[in-house]
Structure 1
């Protein structure tokens, strides 16, 4: 790997130092997104607790494009990154943003990547100001809708959510608009958009930001649509997981209303994992994951929405692992999970 990991390991061996001593001196880069999401919260938490435990010093690089971060991990230029699982699948197949890489080279690069621990970054829903009168997916027809950054998995999922919920296509039934994530907070309140289709945590800082412009309505995927055979097929695609959260668990107060038949929010969740290069030393990966497990409750209490990101859950359906996804857990991560009493799916080892 890049940076000091290998150098420290060699020096430790020469000096007769323990692996733990070498790890305590490791300086690692950690690529993440902009603040306000489960990805960023995960990175900041791990930077704090790994330093506190003497495992490693993590230099957090905010505002990264995770499409590029995956290549950095696969090629050993960076150490840890948040990663939507769909991107690992696309790299493995040489598709989407990695089409120029090609299937053969993409598969080679994807084989260099391993997971430490899974989580999700929320689920796709529709939000709008109450004043817009948009309280169903059908009412997006003819509207200006912000639905993601200019390219990537988020835009694909947002378009898919609207099409599956109400049969609406971007560019035909509504006008989709895209900006980078960093511009989203200002767009939420500047009045330029009629509605937003985007991933929401529970509670979501995107919703609370929008409240500066007025009361907000959240529209869930209709129950009959969510439970249909056609919609369920979405969850066969790598990186898509079902998310259901009851209103009482969402953490909102006055000024926010949800449209749902039974008080449950339903949506397409985006499966994530923190990933590393396969050459990360076993003891270092194990120590990082062991600290992650040890501090799960602390992380859930750190930010309100982290309680609803499926931390500490490893089954394949909830995490999006296995099936067509080639990504496996790092051997050190497997050891940490199993020693803590968790069951790692055989298909993800």
Structure 2
């Protein structure tokens, strides 16, 4: 017997499911990352571009300070963000820039990771003719160390102090500007040196060699083994990195350059749907060839490096993908561990 009511109910259920699926596909997720030209920006945009192929549409707001982006992510004000492993510990300990944030330790528990990656190295850059050829020459000079609200400036100043003993504001003038202003200030001769985290082979660093010559100062061998430098290398998201100075045209430091390396991860928060994060994660890895073609440094992004310096639990949606792909997940990265 034909049951009209049963048919009507089935049609209504199907329509409702279609409506939910359509809404999910049409939803715009908020994402924040650093400025254009930054390796963090490059990686985040690569992630967002591949996520879009799975109908996870992330509106990327670039040029943001990562300390603030992670806080907004922890609060659920944005859905995806770039961040620094060391910032997690600062938020969890309600320290420094998070000192006055109510409930910072609890907010830190909301952060979830998707992919970790090796981003690059801190480049202490000075132009030929600046009077700076060695670290000791920094004394009395003006040095751009990073943005006012970020963690990079503190790291740059710590690096200088370990190598030289110089204290910012006493032995040299530390200038804190936005990243774009820092580049412009060095190019215009308004500062003597810039310490800039960047990928190896960065076009932004390379441009100083297109119209002249410049130096990237290498960490001296006798400082590498020091207790203070090893402690800096051992911080979350940090490490020693070496590269050939010839990677940059016009770069004057000969041979291998020893630098402070840094890592990052693409994050989200616990409230984002498992299905959404799974779809975005899977799309990223399924299209890894396109990701590798985006930038030279992204060729190091593999399943083997997926959890580089990640120090928060993975999102369950990401875990689902990694388990399906047969990627071994450290127990410490599972929620509740």
SS of 1:256 mapped into structure 2: coil
- Between the aligned partners of 1:27 and 1:315, the Cα distance in structure 2 is 26
CA RMSD in angstroms, aligned pairs only: 2.6
SS of 1:16 mapped into structure 2: helix
Q: Which residue is equivalent to 1:280?
A: 272
Matched, 1:57 2:54: no
TM (norm. structure 2) is 0.86
**Uncovered stretches (5+) of structure 1, i.e. residues with no partner:** 1-10
SS of 2:129 mapped into structure 1: helix
- Between the aligned partners of 2:133 and 2:21, the Cα distance in structure 1 is 55
Size of the aligned set, in residue pairs, is 323
Q: Which residue is equivalent to 1:333?
A: 318
TM (norm. structure 1) is 0.83
Tell me, yes or no, if the aligned pair for 1:115 and 1:276 is still in contact at 8 Å.
yes
- Between the aligned partners of 1:328 and 1:268, the Cα distance in structure 2 is 25
| Bigger Cα Rg | 2
- Between the aligned partners of 1:30 and 1:303, the Cα distance in structure 2 is 20
CA shift in 2, pair 1:227/1:55, >3 Å: farther
**Uncovered stretches (5+) of structure 2, i.e. residues with no partner:** 1-11
Q: Displacement, 1:154?
A: 0.4
Q: Which residue is equivalent to 1:321?
A: 310
1:72-221 aligned within 5 A: 72-102=72-102, 105-211=103-209, 214-221=212-219
Matched, 1:252 2:248: yes
Match of 2:294 among 293, 302, 310: 302
- Between the aligned partners of 2:209 and 2:220, the Cα distance in structure 1 is 24
1:221-236 aligned within 5 A: 221-236=219-234
Matched, 1:265 2:257: yes
Match of 1:347 among 307, 316, 332: 332
Between 238-247 and 77-86, the greater mean CA deviation after superposition: 238-247
- Between the aligned partners of 1:172 and 1:46, the Cα distance in structure 2 is 42
SS of 2:183 mapped into structure 1: helix
- Between the aligned partners of 1:341 and 1:223, the Cα distance in structure 2 is 41
Cα deviation 1:5-43 (Å, max 9, x = unaligned): xxxxxx999833599766533321111111001111122
Cα deviation 1:33-62 (Å, max 9, x = unaligned): 1100111112222232222x2331111111
Q: Displacement, 1:257?
A: 2.9
CA shift in 2, pair 1:266/1:21, >3 Å: farther
